[in-house]
Structure 1
């Protein structure tokens, strides 16, 4: 893009970003990061963009999930494996139930920064800057912990590199082989969804046995032995993003955001003339944009033109996040705007961020029934509009947490304190995630059956 450089954002209005007190320390960190290898590569980003283009046509489906905010002190191989395992289970459910390829994208290896609803928080009589994620400051409620520290970017890079290394090993080293479909069941998942998953896994195993009897060795079919797994995060801390931005060696003038395969712009940072939009408009990666109830049609038109001027399939994913009961009010008007502009987008449902409440026990939580309802409403609107629901976006974990109420394990508000581990927003646990995957598969089946009926007529 000839009219863009990776540092142009610095002259634009910026919000939801820290003010570093030590400018020299910040420059030193940025200089060091700029010498580090990128975490992802242009060919990978282009493959993901092509896959998302297929999702926009209903020929694939995006499953995007992972932590609300990755934490330095919770980093472990087991935690990465457990989340990866649950996402494999969810993908199997969606693929088997809906008969479409599933694009697997983790909120991993970069989801370290979080926008906040207020710049400060108060405990008792003490007011301090808000916690903005481990890449910026610390969760401990002390003046020292809340000072933004640029050196945390270096630790974030190291953790992201380690996470990606393990994810690539899991994806291609045999763990994700479809022959292991029975072994992916999380030790933390139970209930009817798990029983149904085991039944489907048995049917898949039978199908693999049939292939073997017919002379097709599943072990030799590459697409069954490994998976493509991509990473994503909100592109919030632009000093970090710029430092890892690289010119593609095979395409001069094309710039890759080297911190992750897919970056998105949050509902709070999507100002058409703002810094975040300006930075992400210039990178070759597929990008997402959160669309909440305050998204105006005129702003959406400007953003479509700014972020995807060539109207490229798979380039722009619109992530709807309205809240249960509000989808029918807001999503149709945005769909109509996109259709009127002739814009190519991939529509995705984020049923998490519009459904956060404070429980009677003081914990932030998300009622599972509200999450389910928003997913159902999302599909219902697309059926009514004749448009394509292209994916789902969840905050979830493979750990045995009690952060969202409801689900087959019937987590109550009184249970929230049992295993409430998130540093920011509540996540679905393994059982809730799998239960939700079955619901999405049913919605996709209904959509597919309706499309087949229309073709028959």
Structure 2
């Protein structure tokens, strides 16, 4: 893959900015920004075209009802969070969830980290006021700093280079973990030792791991050694929000002469920037990566179809994933019509549930949080709709951390609003902690297993 060849068909940055982009930084020094962009354009790719193709094939299996996606990670990554311990903790939660889902549901699980690129966040307001002082809102470490000072809140183009370097370090360590023995199934009992001791769901997790270890021991005794037990395929994803960064990290694959976004394997367009004639859709419709589109409660079937037609005119399997974020109170009413019309069009897209973003509220003591029961209800609603329509619930997209934070209320730990002050550490939106994440995985596993049994029974009726 060439790092210098640019696509003749790729729109220029000027053309993208002419489309009135939303949620973009406002840089004071255009010359400094141009120098940063020029430097990013010659940096090595963070991911490779072949890896993106491999993920697209896996997403095609998801769309066909043959696999399930687990997508998770921080709401907003921070530069300070790029440490070996932090990355390992997130991986062990995701791996534990994936093993649980695979074992209970007996379908392959595509492991997709919200990692190595999720450094920018859209905001509902451009500014923030404290004690009569108004400063730019924090838009993620890719744009400005979290500290409420004029110096930190300035939109700094040099931070785009920080995103690249932090993403490279994270990907490097992640690849080492998932191929170097850490992900070996025989170590599943060590991934969450504290969880087993402290969580009410610990006994269930330990029982599952014990069964897996017995099965592995039996296979080893039979002389069966499978490399798939030792390593896993793990892919990165993030919202492709910042046009300068994503455009600079688009490369032409030397094999196919087609453009790929090499900032991450799976790129998605957010709810606030999915305008059909907007620059984010215009940029990403040219790249070959598998793409996600967030669909909130204002989505109509016509909107979903128009976006699919714009981004995937060739109806390519694995190309489009719709990530629904409609809220627990609305998903059962809005989602059925969207799925029905997309399915009736002949498209086979992957459907993923984001049960986090539609269920956020502020507490009396000023914390932004989510109720675990609401998160669970939206997941159940997602499965209920697909079960009623006979379609495949393709995955879940969760904001989570490997730490024992207190950011979302509820769950087996019975976190209440007064507990939020204890360990509220997110840089933006509240995340599920380790125990809550595994609780959610048990629910999803139960729904997948139940659906598998029902589908098996239906197939048996048809064949008899």
Cα deviation, residue 187, structure 1: 3.4
Q: Secondary structure at the match of 2:397?
A: strand
Q: Does residue 315 of the first structure (1) align with residue 319 of the second (2)?
A: yes
Cα deviation, residue 337, structure 1: 2.1
Q: Does residue 78 of the first structure (1) align with residue 85 of the second (2)?
A: yes
Separation in structure 2 between the aligned mates of residue 303 and residue 327 of structure 1, nearest angstrom: 20
Contact 1:86 1:186 (8 Å CA) reproduced: no
User: How large is the Cα RMSD of the aligned pairs?
Assistant: 1.3
Cα deviation, residue 329, structure 1: 1.3
1:192 aligned to which of 181, 189, 200: 200
Q: Does residue 331 of the first structure (1) align with residue 339 of the second (2)?
A: no
Q: Does residue 242 of the first structure (1) align with residue 247 of the second (2)?
A: yes
Cα deviation, residue 210, structure 1: 1.0
Q: What residue in structure 2 maps to residue 18 of structure 1?
A: 25
Q: What residue in structure 1 maps to residue 275 of structure 2?
A: 271
Q: Does residue 342 of the first structure (1) align with residue 350 of the second (2)?
A: no
Compared CA separation, residues 259 and 186, structure 1 to 2 (3 A): farther
Q: What residue in structure 1 maps to residue 220 of structure 2?
A: 212
Q: What residue in structure 1 maps to residue 166 of structure 2?
A: 159
Q: What residue in structure 1 maps to residue 294 of structure 2?
A: 290
Compared CA separation, residues 191 and 63, structure 1 to 2 (3 A): same
Q: Secondary structure at the match of 2:153?
A: coil
Aligned pairs for 1:365-404 within 5 A: 365-404=369-408
Cα deviation, residue 325, structure 1: 1.6
Separation in structure 2 between the aligned mates of residue 2 and residue 55 of structure 1, nearest angstrom: 32
| TM-score (normalizing by structure 2) | 0.95
Contact 2:401 2:432 (8 Å CA) reproduced: yes
Q: Secondary structure at the match of 1:116?
A: coil
Structure 1 spans left out of the alignment, 5+ residues: none
Q: What residue in structure 1 maps to residue 455 of structure 2?
A: 451
Q: What residue in structure 1 maps to residue 4 of structure 2?
A: none
Deviations 1:240-277 (A, max 9, x none): 0111110011111x111010000100000000000111
Cα deviation, residue 36, structure 1: 0.5
Contact 2:100 2:445 (8 Å CA) reproduced: yes
Q: Secondary structure at the match of 1:145?
A: helix
Cα deviation, residue 282, structure 1: 0.6
Separation in structure 1 between the aligned mates of residue 370 and residue 343 of structure 2, nearest angstrom: 32
Cα deviation, residue 2, structure 1: 7.4
Contact 2:128 2:134 (8 Å CA) reproduced: yes
Cα deviation, residue 73, structure 1: 2.1
Structure 2 spans left out of the alignment, 5+ residues: 1-6
Q: What residue in structure 2 maps to residue 114 of structure 1?
A: 121
Separation in structure 2 between the aligned mates of residue 340 and residue 124 of structure 1, nearest angstrom: 54
| TM-score (normalizing by structure 1) | 0.97
Cα deviation, residue 186, structure 1: 5.3
Separation in structure 2 between the aligned mates of residue 297 and residue 216 of structure 1, nearest angstrom: 49
